[in-house]
Amino acid sequence: MDRIIDGALFENMVKGGAENLYVNKSIVNDLNVFPIPDGDTGDNMYMTIDSGASAPDDGKGDLGSVSARIAHGMLLGARGNSGVILSRIFAGIAAGLKDTENADIQTFGHALEKGSEEAYSAVSVPVEGTILTVFRDAVSYAGGRINGNSTLDSYFMDLMNELQRSLERTPELLDVLKEAGVVDSGGAGLVYIVEGMKNAIDGVEIKHGERPVQSAAKSVNVDTFTSDSVLEFGYCTEFLLRLQSSKINIDEFDIESFTELVRSMGDSVVSFLDGTIVKVHVHTMHPGEVLNECQKYGEFLTLKIENMMLQHNETVIENRFEFKKEQVRKKFGVVAVASGDGLVEMFRSLGADQVVDGGQSMNPASGDFIKAFEQINAETILVFPNNGNVILAAAQAAGMYDKADIRVIPTKTVGEGYSALSMLDTEGKTADEVQEEATEYAAGVVTGFVSKAGRTTEMDGVSIVAGDYIGFSDDVVYSDSPDKAKAAEILCDRLDAGSYDVILLLAGGGAAREETENLYAALRDKYRDSEIIMRDGGQPLHDFILVLE
């Protein structure tokens, strides 16, 4: 039984780790959680360890030199958050093995501890429940079990056991993992690496180097970031910077201040100094700013900038990892009915998980609701039908669905639905309480509509001319005018709009921008005590919707 690691074995172990990660990297990739950046943890970690495993041989075979060579290779190739942390782990290990010809288990265990410490120190704000935690737990557990009878095999068995246990605990430490029902991807990558290292100790043949190294170019779908997209996650920016003595006094360079500087321009910062090379990984909205600032210290050796929105939109969450947890159910989910781009967007931004297309012109069927329910994993799903003719279909769907408690809030208009949802607070409340509150909020709202009249007639004392615009609310007609804004103004008067706190004006697809703005100005002028808000609803049929609350 082996008790000693020498340079050749260590090199083989790293190659074995790379090999095993390569075989399993798609599993690791799939563990990524939106909106955690770095869409390709498996690829990134593989490229990192591979650049260590393939570092050119410098003819030195002692363990200290081999581990230093591997660590330096990883420094140059480190990609992504987990990759950079991985490279730091190996840098720490190399520091722990410095000047050794070979190492016994005790020495090797200490070196791994150094790897853990080094990894923590490289991360500006260490997050528990990540690769950091998984590695630290395993090293500490296995280290505590070293005794006179320990072999490399038993030590790595202990490492593996605790790595897996700690990995399974990561969702307990990190809510985003729990919500997505996955374990940490960087931690999982590490499990495969250590497993591969153990394979090498066990003498399993390693095929490293026989396959072409994957290029960094991935099939990026550029259509996922359009001219209307909002940059929400910024750029994953990574580079190696060689400090320049022409620019700064290198001896006085302080990596901590430098890191703080980088952190002031972004987050997820990992950075460290190796000789005169600084490695930086940062997520920033303004990569140019970061580069300009950092170039004041040196020149770039390598540079990589990726729009993280592209990475994200590619990521499909598929729970096929063997350690996966049951996906955590939310307490409340929301389905709302609306049509028109502006209204759909409005309900989404208010927290609707699913918006079912429909309304006055097209009533959704029960089946449409069931489809929406199936997309949501929640104990209770609140449904806002937002139309008198849709409530029944929603109620029917609720009766047919048994995988969640469906509560239909009988909102008859988008105004009621909007109002109930915007005031709703589900924190710490039961389904009954939430249903009651939502129903109450909806009841306090008056919704007025302006539409084109289809025929000439008389209703509710108003003479209606076909082609004119009529203003109505709750099936009562209040106004008729050839001018849609005028019809809206009269409608407001009749509904006593000035007595409400908020008047929300939703412009339909048929209302011209100028018409809407003029109406908005007129309402502001008239109802000075109310707060008047104009939004582009884009709804069909109704040129204007007025929500009075």
Partner 1 sequence: MFVIFTDTDTDMTPENAERFGYHLISMPYSIDGKTIYPYEDFTEFKSKEFYDMLRAGTIPTTSAISKEKYTEYFEPYFKNGDEILYVHFSEAMTMTFTNMRAAVAELQEKYPAAKFHTIDTKGITIASLIIAEEIGDLYKAGKSAEEIIEWAKDQVDCFSIYMFADDLKFFKRSGRVSGFSAAMGTLIGVRPIIHINAEGKMVSIGKERGKKNALNRLLSYVVEKGDDVKNHRILIAHSDDEEDALALADMVREKFGDDVRIEIIVANPTAGSHCGPNCLGISFHSQRRV
Task: Give contact residues for partner 1 (rule: CB under 8 A).
Answer: 254, 256-257, 260-261, 263-265, 285-286, 288-289, 292, 346, 348-351, 353, 418-419, 422-423, 425-427, 500-502, 504, 529-531, 533, 535, 549
CB of 267 to partner 1, least distance (A): 9
Nearer to partner 1, 262 or 391 (CB): 262
Q: Are 183 and 152 in contact (CB under 8 A)?
A: no
Query: Taking the alpha carbons of 315, 319, 323, 325 in that order, is the dihedral positive or negative?
Result: positive
Report the phi/psi class of residue 84: left, alpha or beta, with left for phi > 0 and alpha for psi in -120 to 50.
alpha
CB of 96 to partner 1, least distance (A): 28
Which positions ≥6 away from 477 have C-beta within 8 Å? 459, 460, 462, 464, 470, 471
Q: How does DSSP classify residue 497?
A: G
Kindly tell me which of 264 and 375 has the beta carbon lying closer to partner 1: 264
Q: Which residue has the tokens 């409005």?
A: 346
Strand-strand pairing, 531-536 and 298-307: unpaired
CB of 492 to partner 1, least distance (A): 16
Nearer to partner 1, 95 or 273 (CB): 273
Min CB(524)–partner 1 separation in Å: 13
Q: CB-based contacts of 478: which residues, under 8 Å, 6+ apart?
A: 448, 460, 462, 471, 472, 490, 491, 494, 495
Shortest Cβ distance from residue 488 to partner 1 (Å)? 18
Nearer to partner 1, 67 or 426 (CB): 426
CB 476, CB 432: distance < 8 Å: no
Considering only CA atoms, which of 412, 406, 425 is closest in space to residue 335? 406
> What's the min distance (Å) between Cβ of 154 and partner 1?
43
Report d(CA 305, CA 301) in Å as an integer.
14
CA neighbor of 105 nearest in space, from 191, 1, 16: 1
- Of 9, 16, 11, whose CA–CA distance to 194 is shortest? 16
Shortest distance in whole angstroms from residue 501 CB to partner 1: 3
Looking at the Cβ atoms of 190 and 547, the one nearer to partner 1 is: 547
Q: Across the beta sheet with 378-384, what order do the strands follow?
A: 354-357, 330-338, 378-384, 405-408
Least distance in Å: CB of 264 to partner 1?
3
**Choice between 48 and 237, CB closer to partner 1:** 237
Residues 6+ apart with CB under 8 A from 317: 30, 32, 33, 34, 180, 182
435: tokens are 């249903």
Name which of 81, 3, 1, 4 is nearest 43 in CA terms. Answer: 81
Nearer to partner 1, 206 or 519 (CB): 519
Cβ closer to partner 1: 237 or 426?
426
Q: What is the nearest approach in angstroms of partner 1 to the Cβ of residue 304?
A: 19
Instruction: Compare residues 201 and 505 and give the one whose CB is closer to partner 1.
Output: 505
CB of 175 to partner 1, least distance (A): 10
Alpha carbon distance 503, 546 (integer Å): 7
Which residue lies nearer to partner 1 by CB, 99 or 501?
501
Q: Judged by CB, which is closer to partner 1: 125, or 222?
A: 125
For 101, 161, 192, 194, 195, the CA distances from 199, given in Å and listed in that order, are 23, 15, 10, 9, 6
Q: How far apart are the first and last CA of the chain?
A: 79
Q: At its nearest, how many Å lie between partner 1 and the CB of residue 274?
A: 22
Q: Which is nearer to partner 1, 392 or 534 (CB)?
A: 534
3-class secondary-structure state, position 391: helix
CB of 296 to partner 1, least distance (A): 12
Residue 316, phi then psi, degrees to nearest 5: -110, 125
